Amino acid sequence: MGFKLGDFVRFVDEKREGYVTRIIDAQTFGVTDTDGFEIPVVASNLTHVHGHQTANANINPSAALVVDEEFKENGVFFAVAEDSKASAVAHFTLINRSSYQLLLSLKTDKKGLYKGEFASAVQPKTSTQLYSANLGDLDNWPEFVFQILYFTSGNLKPVAPLSITKKFRSKDFNGAKNQIAEVNKYGWIIQLDEPAPIIDAQKLKESFFKGETEKPKVLKPPKEIDLHIEKLKDDYQFLSQSEIIDIQLASFQQMLDAAIVHQMPSIVFIHGVGNGTLRHHIHKTISKHPQVRTFMDARKEKFGFGATEVVFKN
């Protein structure tokens, strides 16, 4: 019995279930269970769980004749959502909100090694799951190569095929999750066929000649700025330590500049104790800043050594 990525399977010799998230070789598969652990298992020790197999659709030309009040030319999305049972497993879904029937091919590219993962027709206003992977293995995910042909039996000019290569990074999952109706889950969604922006030549010309009064205003920051990453970013668990530091320092610099613009007498940055890296970078910056009079640990009874107060020159 063959298995493919995303199949929900049960172990034959023990009470355990999970998703196929890696094909190790022809007879061995990586299965991620509900605890988030990926376990190598031989095919003979696995069986499909009834009702969870993904069926590929066949091309059906008559189904592509969509009788809508308005024919929707765009609306092809790629969604990533965590599994409801095993949060360490990410399922990848192609969502077709357009009025076209899509002929979809997905290949993965891992350092020049290509592998066909999925091929099927996706009917208008439907979705299909096409891949699964372990979220904890994000850095080792391959590049995804999408190739899509558009079909309709209606009297419309043919659309150029879509070919997109996507390599996911942790920053792709920085934003807040959105409700994805087609999979009834919260997750991240990317439009693959987003229309090219229409450039208004007149507005573009005017943007080069904006007066001083049209410059964006700098908002006055609060007196205390919390730089803990959970206060700055949603879904920060996907970030590396270096990315976290970069985000924290960018926020620190932005708030420092804003405080100077508004001639605030002082401002407090809450950086925590941790390993001292963020505190070190902050102190290094303000110790050389021409607008800083002095700095000190802020209210030790409240913050301990986890905050720094910056006092500006008048």
- Domains of the chain, residue spans: 54-191, 212-312
Percent of the chain past pLDDT 90, that is, above it, reads 27
pLDDT reported for residue 223: 92
Instruction: Give the pair of three-digit tokens for residue 215.
Output: 């410059």
pLDDT digits (tens, 9 = 90+) for 187-214: 888 888 887 666 566 666 666 665 555 5
Q: What distance in Å separates the CA atoms of residue 170 and residue 41, rounded to the nearest whole number?
A: 28
- 133, pLDDT greater than 90: no
pLDDT reported for residue 249: 92
Instruction: Give the pair of three-digit tokens for residue 114.
Output: 């290509």
- 48, pLDDT greater than 60: yes
pLDDT reported for residue 58: 42
- 122, pLDDT greater than 60: yes
- 67, pLDDT greater than 70: no
Q: What distance in Å separates the CA atoms of residue 24 and residue 39, rounded to the nearest whole number?
A: 11
pLDDT reported for residue 174: 66
Higher pLDDT, 150 or 275: 150
pLDDT reported for residue 56: 41
Thinking of the domain 54-191, which architecture would CATH place it in?
A: Sandwich (2.60)
Contact 132, 19 (CB under 8 A): yes
Q: What distance in Å separates the CA atoms of residue 195 and residue 197, rounded to the nearest whole number?
A: 6
Q: What mean pLDDT is predicted for residues 274-280?
A: 86
Report the 10 Å Cβ neighbour count for 205: 9
Highest-confidence segment of 42-56, 107-121, 298-312: 107-121
Cα dihedral angle (114, 120, 121, 125), rounded to 10 degrees? -90
CA distance readout (Å), 292 to 24, 248, 272, 278, 309: 57, 20, 21, 18, 11
Q: What mean pLDDT is predicted for residues 301-306?
A: 75
pLDDT digits (tens, 9 = 90+) for 222-274: 999 999 988 888 767 677 788 888 899 999 999 999 999 899 999 999 988 87
In this structure, of 51-65, 109-123, 148-162, 200-214, the range with the lowest mean pLDDT score is: 51-65
Considering Cα of 302, then 304, then 306, then 310, what sign does the dihedral take? Answer: positive
Could you confirm whether domain 212-312 is CATH 3.30.300.20? Answer: no
- 71, pLDDT greater than 50: yes
